[in-house]
Amino acid sequence: MSSGSSRSRGGEKSGVGVVVPSSSRFVTQTVNGSHQFLIKGYSLAKGIGVGKHIASENFTIGGYQWAIYFYPDGKNPEDNSAYVSVFIALASEGTDVRALFELTLLDQGPDAKHKVHSHFDRSLESGPYTLKYRGSMWGYKRFYRRTMLESSSFLKDDCLKINCTVGVVVSAIDSSRLHSIDVPDSDIGAHFGLFLQNGEGSDVTFNVSGVKFPAHKLVLAARSPEFENEFFNGLEEDNQEILVDDMEPKVFKLLAAADKYGLTRLRLMCESVLCKHISVNSVANILALADRYSAVELKSVCLKFAAENLVAVMETDGFELLKENCPLLQSELLKTVAGSEEELSGGGKSQSVWAQFSDGGNSNDRRARQQTLQNGERGQRIWAQSLDGSDARGMSPGQDG
């Protein structure tokens, strides 16, 4: 592929008298395609005569018809049938068709050392080949010596396989990148937001613990399969109000609503916002919220943060509530802690969970506690005691509690 570009000082004047330069770009490239020609019964084709060929079916590349010509007895009388000849011919009407070519005799043996004659590799030296008219050809009179061909792995079961690749040269003025019209970002979201804010055109109302939210059925149904089913299959036409009694108004627009009504993108947006507010004091509450409303990504981040800051998190009021109300999360947190320790054994940089319990003890004591966790059930029992209220930091490595 090649291209050229130019700029001139001509052009129109702007309103302030500045001449705006014009520009253009000429692009030349190839349209490539391939065709494989199977010659079955090679030995029977021998003897048809010098200059006579076997032709493949016509195939189209770059808007032109092409064909492969195979000469079993050669094309040149002076060679006395010592070589086979192979050519690519222009089989459709055309004048001055410029193209690059490649002819490959396929080796059918295990080594697959194909015989390749390629014009593509020499395009910089000689440029494309020009075919003047229908029937013009490119190829090799001495493509391969017959005696060598007949004793080689190119010939198998009396068959030859020839692959042809043609790259037709096409040129054009390309203005697609030089002239463009800027299209502003879609503001449909803002428009829908205004409808929601001012309630214009609303046809359904959500009553959330006495607080009412006007909305639009079609918009909600388009974004949520739950709403689609409720509005068009389950909701009576004269019932324009939906009672929501299992969540508070302040969270209706956020995570709980997104989970209940199947609004995946809204849920992820909420998770992203809450993720930025994770801290030692808030992680337990956010973890419980994420678990309740199936916020998988947010829950994973909370578990990892809590495991990395376990001692500090255990001292918060939120963790006490987590122990009382979400006992299954304790097991998940235990698995996360165990996973963190495995990462440390592989060269991780986070502080060991057991080192957090150490209260400044010596390094041997820390290593002993880490080993206790790695020993499996024994370490898990010690960690579980800390969740139950025992003082894990006061235990020695050899105690089971």
Residue written as token pair 């993720």: 275
Shortest CA distance to 144 belongs to which of 152, 136, 134, 156?
A: 152
- Averaged pLDDT of the chain: 75
Report the alpha-carbon distance of residue 254 to residue 70 in Å, rounded. 73
Mean pLDDT within 30-41: 94
> Which residue in 88, 309, 364 sits closest to 301, CA to CA?
309
Q: Mean pLDDT throughout 312-323?
A: 85
Q: Count the neighbouring beta carbons within 10 Å of the beta carbon of residue 293.
A: 21
* Number of CB atoms found within 10 A of residue 273's CB: 12
Q: Which residues contact 211 (CB under 8 A, 6 or more apart)?
A: 249, 252
Model confidence band, residue 72 (pLDDT cutoffs 50, 70, 90): very high
Which of 13-17, 62-66, 230-234, 367-371 is least confident? 367-371
pLDDT value of position 231: 74
Q: Is the pLDDT of residue 263 over 50?
A: yes
Task: Please give the pLDDT value at position 41.
Answer: 94
Q: Which two tokens stand for residue 71?
A: 């000469």
- Provide, rounded to the nearest whole percent, the portion of the chain with pLDDT above 90: 28
Write down the pLDDT at residue 238.
Answer: 57
Q: What is the pLDDT of residue 365?
A: 41
**Which pLDDT tens digit goes with each residue over 98-135?**
999 999 999 999 888 898 888 787 766 778 889 999 99
Residues 255, 194: Cα–Cα separation, whole Å:
21
Tally of residues, the chain: 401
Mean of the pLDDT values across residues 264-275? 76
Per-residue confidence (pLDDT) for residue 219, from 0 to 100: 74
Least confident of 61-75, 124-138, 183-197: 183-197
Nearest to 136 by CA among 64, 71, 200, 190: 64
16-20, 26-30, 371-375: least confidently modelled range:
371-375
Query: How do residues 151-176 score in pLDDT, each as one tens digit?
Result: 999 999 999 999 999 999 998 876 65
Beta pairing partners, 233: none
What residues have CB less than 8 Å from 302, skipping those under 6 apart? 278, 283, 286, 287, 290
C-alpha Rg value of the chain to the nearest Å:
39
pLDDT of residue 374: 42
Name the range with the highest mean pLDDT among 24-33, 55-64, 335-344. 55-64
Q: What pLDDT, on the 0 to 100 scale, is given for residue 379? A: 40
pLDDT at 243: 75
Task: Please state the φ and ψ torsions of residue 173, each to the nearest 5 degrees.
Answer: -80, 120
Contact assessment for residue 24 and residue 178, using Cβ atoms and an 8 Å cutoff: yes
What single string gives the DSSP state of each residue in 270-322?
HHHHHHTT--TTTHHHHHHHHHHTT-HHHHHHHHHHHHHTHHHHHTSHHHHHH
Q: What is the dihedral of CA 250, 255, 257, 263, to 10 degrees?
A: 140
What pLDDT is attached to residue 210? 78
Q: Residue 293's pLDDT is what?
A: 75
Tokens of 277: 């507010």
pLDDT tens digits, one per residue of 202-254: 788 877 777 777 777 777 777 667 777 777 776 555 557 777 665 566 555 56
Q: Which residue has the higher pLDDT, 73 or 208?
A: 73
Res. 193 pLDDT band, cuts 50 70 90: low
Q: How confident is the model at residue 257 (pLDDT cuts 50, 70, 90)?
A: low
